[in-house]
Amino acid sequence: MRNIFKFLTKNSFIFLFLLLEFFAFWMLIANNNYQNSTFFNSSNFFVGNMFSTIQNINDYFNLKQVNKELAEQNAKLQSNNIASFTKVYGRIIEINDTVYHQNYRYSAAKVVNNSTNKRQNYITIDKGEINGIEAEMGVICANGVVGIVKNVSKNFGSVMSVLHDKYKLSAKIKKSGYFGSLVWEGNNYREAQLKDIPNHVKLVIGDTVVTTGFSTIFPENILIGWVKEFDLPEGNNFYNITIEFAVDYKKLSHVYVVRSLMKEEQLKLEAESQQEVTE
């Protein structure tokens, strides 16, 4: 027995080393299996408090950046505020000029649901019947066209996006004024095809494509996109044009619903002319 003690005290360094290493590896293996060990990880009270204090101090260094972001957001919200719109377009102040007659009215709406990955995409907005939204109204956003209101409920509106394979949008080349129809073929949500542009028109990549205003849904000259590429197949009278949308429909948040005030007058006149022909 005495010899064992003697042996242990003589080699105490090595034994202590082995003991401590044993503890260390035991902890290592135990904690590799159970990452959420209750006491000794960084979520425990003392260490957690300390890290949150350090984080509090770090937050002060970011204040400038945070302030800037908040100011930008405030400015954005301010300009999206309904008060900013009424001055120009709103329902309260109407421009009653005899030379200019107001044709379009805008009301702001927010996108509450959106998709871009289907072949028939719809957008839901937070304005409906009680806000004066009706079916067949155009929807645009700051950068360009979005779609047409298809159905309205009391508080919401369902918008058929231009990313819908049944939707044809009347579009024209801004520079030359030739018009065609824009169709989306359901592949890339950033691109669409422009049809019916005749082959004698001079095209350049980057040409702006805008709305025509024929349909009374959209005002004239609302941006749609730019010509991305085009080609002229042999023996064909029309170009194949691919355009790139100006709006990134994945990031849509604030839109404006367009009401055409003279739509009914125009449609009525057009219907009358058609009737006369058929009679």
Partner 1 sequence: MIRDVIVYILMFFVLVLTQVLVLNNIELGGYINPYLYVFFILALPFETHDNLVLVIAFLLGLTIDVFTSTLGIHTSATVFLAFSRKYVLKLISPRGGYDFGTTPSLQSMGMSWFMTYSIILVLCHHIFLFYTESFSFSQFFSTFARVILSSIFTLILIFIVQLFNYNPNARK
**For residues 13 and 100, which CB has a smaller minimum distance to partner 1 in the complex?**
13
40 touches partner 1 by CB under 8 A: yes
Residue from the set 10, 11, 17, 68 that interacts with partner 1 by CB under 8 A: 17
Span interacting with partner 1, options 8-16, 158-166, 187-195, 206-214, rule CB under 8 A: 8-16
Considering the rule CB under 8 A, would residue 7 count as an interface residue with partner 1?
no
8, 29, 71, 93: residue in contact with partner 1 (rule CB under 8 A): 29
Contact window for partner 1 (CB under 8 A) among 37-45, 97-105, 170-178, 235-243: 37-45
Are 134 and 120 in contact by the 8 Å Cβ rule? The answer is no
- Decide if residue 12 touches partner 1 (CB under 8 A): yes
CB of 67 to partner 1, least distance (A): 24
27 binds partner 1 (CB under 8 A): yes
* Calpha distance 112→123 (Å, rounded): 8
Q: How far is the CB of 57 from partner 1 (least distance, A)?
A: 10
Q: How far is the CB of 15 from partner 1 (least distance, A)?
A: 9
Please name the residues in contact with 247: beta carbons below 8 A apart, sequence gap of 6 or more: 141, 143, 144, 145, 146
What HEC string does the chain produce? CHHHHHHHHHCHHHHHHHHHHHHHHHHHHHHHHCCCCCCCCCCCHHHHHHHHHHHHHHHHHCHHHHHHHHHHHHHHHHHHCHHHHHCCCCCCCCCECCCCECCEEEEEEEEEECCCCCCEEEEEECCCHHHCCCCCCEEEECCEEEEEEEEECCCCEEEEEEEECCCEEEEEECCCCCEEEEECCCCCCCEEEEECCECCCCCCCCCEEEECCCCCCCCCCCEEEEEEEEECCCCCCECEEEEEECCCHHHCCEEEEEEECCHHHHHHHHHHHHHHHHC
Applying the rule CB under 8 A, the residues between 54 and 113 that interact with partner 1 are: 54
**Among 6, 11, 21, 59, contact with partner 1 (rule: CB under 8 A):** 21
User: Which residue, 23 or 214, is less far from partner 1 as judged by CB?
Assistant: 23
Taking the complex as a whole, how short is the minimal distance between the CB of residue 52 and partner 1, in angstroms? 13
110 touches 254 (CB < 8 A): yes
Interface residue with partner 1, options 11, 41, 86, 236 (CB under 8 A): 41
Question: Would you count residue 24 as binding partner 1 (CB under 8 A)?
Answer: yes
Q: For residues 20 and 75, which CB has a smaller minimum distance to partner 1 in the complex?
A: 20
Residue 23 interacting with partner 1 (CB under 8 A):
yes
**Quick one: 5 or 100, whose CB is closer to partner 1?**
5
Binding of residue 199 to partner 1 (CB under 8 A): no
Binding partner 1 (rule: CB under 8 A), the pick from 28, 63, 83, 99 is: 28
**CA-CA distances (angstroms) from residue 273 to 22, 152, 260, 276, 279?**
97, 31, 21, 5, 10
Provide the binding-site residues for partner 1, judged by CB under 8 A.
12-13, 16-17, 20-21, 23-31, 35, 37, 40-42, 44, 47, 54
